[in-house]
C-alpha cells in the first residue's frame, strides 16, 4: 500500500448503521478509503494490530468500549499517536466536549451533523486525495 493510500484512509467507528453508511458514502465520494467498525471492542483490536489510517472518525457512545477509552488507546500506540481523531456524539454538553478534547481528540462534532461542515472538519485534518 503506498503512502498516499494510507494518508487518504479514514477509520470510521460508529455503531449506528444509518450514520455509518452516510459517513462511508460521503467520504468515499470525496476520494477517501474507508474502513468501518461497528463497536469499541473491534476498534480496540484494530487499533492495536493494524497500520494507522490518515484520520479516525470516532463515535463516543459505542458498545463494549466507549470513544473516550478508544482515543486514549490511540494516543498510547506509537504508530497511531499522531493520527487526527474527530469525535462524533449526540451528547452536546460542555463537559463531554472538554472530556473528548482532554482525552486527545483533535475535534468534536455534535450529531446530527451537517455533512458539509463535517467534510470541512475532515479536510482540516486530512486533505482530499488527489
The answer to the question of residue 27 being in a domain is yes
Helix (H, G, I), strand (E, B) or coil at 59: strand
Mean pLDDT, all residues of the chain = 91
Report yes or no: 57 and 88 within 8 Å, Cβ to Cβ: yes
Q: What is the pLDDT of residue 92?
A: 78
Q: Tell me whether residue 130 is in a domain.
A: no
Residue 29 resides in a domain: yes
Task: Count how many domains the chain has.
Answer: 1
pLDDT band, very low/low/confident/very high, at 53 (cuts 50, 70, 90) = very high
Domain that holds residue 90: 3-125
Cβ neighbours of residue 8 closer than 8 Å, sequence gap 6 or more: 31, 32, 33, 54, 126, 128, 129
**Does residue 82 fall inside a structural domain?**
yes
The pLDDT score that the predictor gives to residue 1 is: 39
Q: Does 99 fall in a domain?
A: yes
Q: Spell 64-81 as b/e; 16+ CB within 10 A means b.
A: ebebbebbebbeeeeebe
Length of the chain in residues, anyone?
130
Q: Is residue 10 part of a domain?
A: yes
CATH number, domain at 82? 3.40.50.2300
* 106 within a domain of the structure (yes/no): yes
The overall pTM is greater than 0.75? yes
75 pLDDT band, cuts 50/70/90, is very high
Q: Which three cell numbers stand for residue 61?
A: 457512545
* pLDDT-wise least confident of 4-18, 50-64, 69-83, 93-107: 4-18
Amino acid at each position: 500500500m503506498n503512502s498516499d493510500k494510507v494518508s487518504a484512509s479514514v477509520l470510521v467507528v460508529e455503531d449506528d448503521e444509518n450514520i455509518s453508511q452516510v459517513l462511508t458514502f460521503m467520504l468515499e465520494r470525496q476520494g477517501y478509503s474507508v474502513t468501518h467498525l461497528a463497536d469499541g471492542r473491534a476498534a480496540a483490536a484494530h487499533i492495536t494490530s493494524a497500520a494507522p489510517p490518515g484520520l479516525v472518525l470516532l463515535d463516543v457512545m459505542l458498545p463494549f468500549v466507549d470513544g473516550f477509552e478508544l482515543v486514549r488507546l490511540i494516543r498510547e500506540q506509537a504508530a497511531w499517536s499522531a493520527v487526527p481523531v474527530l469525535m462524533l456524539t449526540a451528547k452536546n454538553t460542555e463537559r463531554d466536549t472538554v472530556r473528548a478534547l482532554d482525552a486527545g481528540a483533535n475535534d468534536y462534532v455534535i450529531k446530527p451533523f451537517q455533512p458539509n461542515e463535517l467534510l470541512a472538519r475532515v479536510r482540516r485534518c486530512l486533505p482530499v486525495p488527489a
